[in-house]
């Protein structure tokens, strides 16, 4: 399951029900100190890791006593096993909300010191009196309901609750679906929550305000979370070991009692073996890091400790890219830029972006500094603000919102820029940065977008906040522009008119349309294979490379869904092609070499662009 939204109500600064949309890969909460950014991450920590709000967590601006923290999920399990081998689904049990999400709400009574958690599904659920309470009914109760409605035993399996529930719903002329909170922690409905809970993503929160003490979690947490992931992945094997140990121990205990019975039958009859508690394997493994001279890492500076955390994410990005079937994980990091040099901040953002590229990974970050905020993808930003009445609000970022964020955080255009290079999207930025950095050592008079501050590479759609600022501010300064557009398969090319207009300018600006279909066609097949876990594709200059790669990745995944079915689902196809495009321009482009580019681009088209841009900077 993948997190689609967080819903907060009466929790700290969030008084009214507040739905906060979460991107499928990277989401960044941006705002001033004490705006309510950390509250979102801490709410998720409570939700996923069985935490509990404190009494003081209730919103002081509200009147409600109940704190609610909810999460909405997509990519849901196809089936649930509730009655031995009989399966049902969340949709069949009317447990999905208005947009087909599984929306789980956890609630606590904040008026008492020790509050018990209650769990609900916020769903479009039947309100018909005969169908509204079916999930809470036991087998015998369902049989009574069948009899009341005169439903024949011949059309229903009386040993399977799901079969009886469906028969009852089918007998109703109208179910009268309405949004309601369906209890999942009581009676028979608890079986559903017991099925759902193990399938929730793992959640790891890395806070920014850790004390420098022995066992400092800033270092321990990444390593400890690695243990938690390993235990989760080995859960079935561990359960086998637990059962084997239990059987062996119980056998010894029973043999002992049998012998005791021979000597004192009364005493033996009073005793029986039991385990005091389930084993906690996560407490068995304790390890950390120490330098060669014996100094614990927690005694080093905060910058060193955060640097270790940075490289944990870099290592995780690489591991999850190489491993198949990794667990679904949400990494949440507060102010990852803390105590880091700007160069390390750029490395961190790249690591987090690459980590979020994995289909089983989502990354959440908070920031209030212009250095990091400027590097984050603008379409991932969520503006968090404290309103005049003291409550918090969260909004997605349109152009108006981006202006406000840029001004609030002080994200300013770099006045050293002498040329603007516009490309179609953020994936094209990735391609140009990686290819230019690779070529620079071999071609001295080619621009390197990753290190030359005299040029700004700006996507016309999406990109980072820094790119957006450049796009909206630097264009007013009369700086020469370069526009690079994909040819695609349109005749004439879609952007031909725009290119003609730009090339007619007299200010040094110029535009070009790729000779091949798009930038992905300039990647060598061997680079794609090396960067994408052995994915092999053959293509020409006019092929849709992302589509071909998406198909190859789908087939290699072993999915039971035929590719033809993916092609027929526009939303799913767009998602898979988008993921392929991201991976091509990051992982594929990162494996390009001078020789590979020379082979795939024998006329030197790409290097020609980079040399011409470099000539504009002198």
Query: What is the second-level CATH architecture of the domain 204-233+289-409?
Result: 3-Layer(aba) Sandwich (3.40)
d(CA 89, CA 80): 5
pLDDT band for position 220 (50/70/90)?
very low
Q: Where are the domains of the chain?
A: 2-23+36-202, 204-233+289-409, 237-283, 419-615
The pTM for the full model equals 0.72
- Of the spans 121-130, 343-352, 402-411, 413-422, which averages the highest pLDDT? 121-130
* Mean pLDDT of the residues in the chain: 84
Tell me the Cα Rg of the chain: 29
CA 400 to chain centroid: 26
> What pLDDT is recorded for position 416?
78
Q: What is the pLDDT of residue 213?
A: 40
Residue 312 has pLDDT above 50, yes or no: yes
DSSP for 287-338, please give it. Answer: ---B-TTS-BGGGS-HHHHHHHHHHHHHHHHHHHHHSSSPPPEEEEEE-TTT
Residue of 485, 435, 451 lying closest to 589 (CA atoms):
435
Is pLDDT at 124 greater than 60 in this prediction? yes
Q: Which of 133-137, 303-307, 395-399, 560-564 has the lowest mean pLDDT?
A: 303-307
Which neighbouring-strand residues pair with 7?
Answer: 19, 70
Q: Is the pLDDT of residue 390 over 60?
A: yes
- Say if residues 21 and 4 touch (Cβ distance below 8 Å): yes
The overall longest dimension of the chain from CA atoms, in Å, is: 108
Residue 92 CA to chain centroid, in angstroms?
A: 27
For 64, 249, 512, 522, the CA distances from 540, given in Å and listed in that order, are 63, 66, 20, 10
Task: Calculate mean pLDDT across residues 215-234.
Answer: 63
pLDDT category of residue 260 using cuts at 50, 70 and 90: confident
pLDDT recorded at residue 79 = 83
The CA distance from 400 to 491, in Å, is 35
The average pLDDT across 285-314 equals 62
Whole-angstrom distance, CA of residue 31 vs CA of residue 408: 8
Positive or negative, the CA dihedral 539, 544, 546, 547 is: negative
Q: Residue 334 — very low, low, confident or very high, per pLDDT cuts 50/70/90?
A: confident
What residues form DSSP beta bridges with 29? 366, 382
Mean pLDDT check: name the lowest of 145-154, 212-221, 367-376, 499-508.
Answer: 212-221
For residue 212, name the pLDDT band (cuts at 50, 70, 90): very low
Question: What is the pLDDT averaged over residues 598-611?
Answer: 97
Alpha helices in 415-464 (DSSP H): 426-439
Beta strands of 22-88 (E only): which ranges? 26-30, 66-74, 80-83, 86-88
List pLDDT tens digits, range 436-477: 999 999 999 999 998 898 998 887 765 555 655 555 555 666
Return d(Cα 54, Cα 67) in angstroms, integer.
10
Which phi and psi angles does 150 have, rounded to 5°? 60, 40
Please say if the pLDDT value at position 296 is more than 60.
no
483 versus 281: the higher-pLDDT residue is 483
User: In angstroms, rounded to a whole number, what is the distance separating the alpha carbons of residues 332 and 571?
Assistant: 27
For residue 309, name the pLDDT band (cuts at 50, 70, 90).
low
Higher-scoring residue by pLDDT: 210, 225: 225
Q: Per-residue b/e over 509-545, b at no fewer than 16 CB within 10 Å?
A: bbbbbbebbbbbbbbbbbbbbbbbeebebebeeebbb
Contacts 24+ apart (CB under 8 A), 296-303: 296/214, 297/216, 297/219, 298/212, 298/213, 298/214, 298/215, 298/216, 298/218, 298/219, 299/212, 301/339, 302/212, 302/338, 302/339, 303/339, 303/340, 303/341
More confident residue, 154 or 299: 154
Residues 207, 334: contact at Cβ < 8 Å? yes
Cβ contact 354:317 at 8 Å: yes
- Predicted confidence (pLDDT) per residue in 535-549, tens digit: 999 999 999 999 999
Question: Tell me, what's the pLDDT at 315?
Answer: 73
């Amino acid at each position: 399951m993948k997190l689609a939204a967080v819903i907060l109500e009466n929790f700290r600064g969030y008084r009214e029900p507040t739905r906060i949309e979460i991107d499928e890969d990277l989401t960044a909460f941006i705002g001033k100190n004490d705006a309510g950014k950390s509250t979102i991450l801490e709410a998720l920590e409570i939700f996923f890791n069985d935490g509990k709000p404190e009494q003081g967590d209730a919103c002081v601006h509200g009147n409600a006593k109940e704190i609610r923290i909810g999460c909405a999920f997509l990519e849901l399990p196809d089936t649930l096993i509730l009655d031995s081998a009989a399966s049902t689904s969340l949709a069949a049990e009317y447990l999905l909300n208005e947009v087909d999400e599984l929306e789980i709400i956890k609630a606590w009574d904040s008026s008492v010191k020790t509050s018990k958690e209650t769990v609900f599904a916020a769903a479009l659920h039947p309100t018909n009196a005969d169908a509204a309470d079916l999930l809470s009914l036991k087998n015998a109760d369902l049989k009574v309901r069948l009899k009341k409605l005169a439903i024949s035993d011949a059309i229903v399996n009386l040993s399977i609750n799901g079969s009886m529930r469906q028969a009852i719903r089918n007998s109703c002329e109208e179910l009268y679906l309405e949004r309601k909170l369906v209890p999942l922690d009581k009676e028979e409905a608890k079986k559903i929550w017991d099925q759902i809970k193990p399938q929730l993503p793992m959640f790891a929160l890395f806070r920014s305000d850790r004390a420098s003490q022995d066992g400092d979690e800033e270092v321990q947490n990444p390593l400890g979370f690695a243990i938690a992931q390993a235990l989760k992945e080995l859960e079935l094997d561990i359960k086998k070991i637990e059962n084997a140990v239990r059987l062996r121990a119980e056998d010894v205990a029973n043999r002992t009692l049998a012998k005791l019975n021979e000597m004192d039958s009364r005493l033996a009859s009073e005793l029986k073996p039991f385990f005091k508690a389930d084993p906690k394997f996560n407490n068995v493994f304790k390890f950390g890091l120490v330098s060669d001279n014996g100094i614990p890492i927690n005694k080093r500076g905060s910058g060193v400790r955060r640097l270790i955390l940075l490289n944990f994410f870099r290592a995780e990005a690489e591991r999850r890219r190489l491993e198949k079937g990794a667990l679904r994980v949400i990494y949440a990091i507060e102010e990852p830029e803390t105590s880091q040099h700007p160069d390390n901040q750029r490395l961190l953002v790249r690591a987090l972006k690459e980590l979020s590229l994995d289909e089983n990974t989502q990354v959440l970050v908070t920031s209030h500094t212009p250095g990091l905020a400027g590097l984050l993808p603008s379409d991932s930003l969520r503006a968090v603000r404290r309103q005049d009445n003291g409550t918090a609000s969260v909004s997605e970022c349109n152009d108006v919102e981006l202006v406000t964020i840029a001004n609030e955080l002080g994200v300013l255009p770099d006045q050293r820029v002498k040329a603007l290079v516009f490309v179609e999207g953020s994936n094209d930025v990735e391609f140009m940065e990686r290819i230019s950095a690779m070529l620079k050592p071999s071609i001295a008079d080619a621009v390197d977008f990753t290190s030359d501050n005299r040029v700004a590479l700006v996507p016309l759609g999406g990109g980072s906040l820094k790119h957006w600022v450049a796009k909206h501010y630097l264009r007013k300064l009369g700086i020469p522009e370069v526009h690079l557009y994909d040819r695609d398969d349109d005749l004439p090319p879609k952007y031909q008119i725009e290119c003609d207009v730009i090339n007619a300018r007299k200010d040094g600006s110029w535009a070009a349309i790729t000779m091949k279909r798009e930038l992905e066609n300039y990647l060598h097949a061997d680079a794609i294979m090396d960067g994408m876990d052995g994915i092999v594709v053959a293509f020409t200059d006019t092929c849709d490379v992302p589509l071909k790669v998406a198909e190859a990745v789908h087939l290699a995944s072993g999915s039971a869904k035929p590719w033809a079915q993916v092609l027929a689902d526009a939303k799913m196809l767009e998602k898979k092609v988008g993921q392929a495009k991201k991976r091509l321009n990051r992982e594929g482009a990162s494996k390009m070499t001078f020789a590979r580019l020379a082979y795939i681009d024998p006329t030197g088209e790409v290097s020609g662009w980079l040399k011409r841009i470099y000539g504009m900077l002198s």
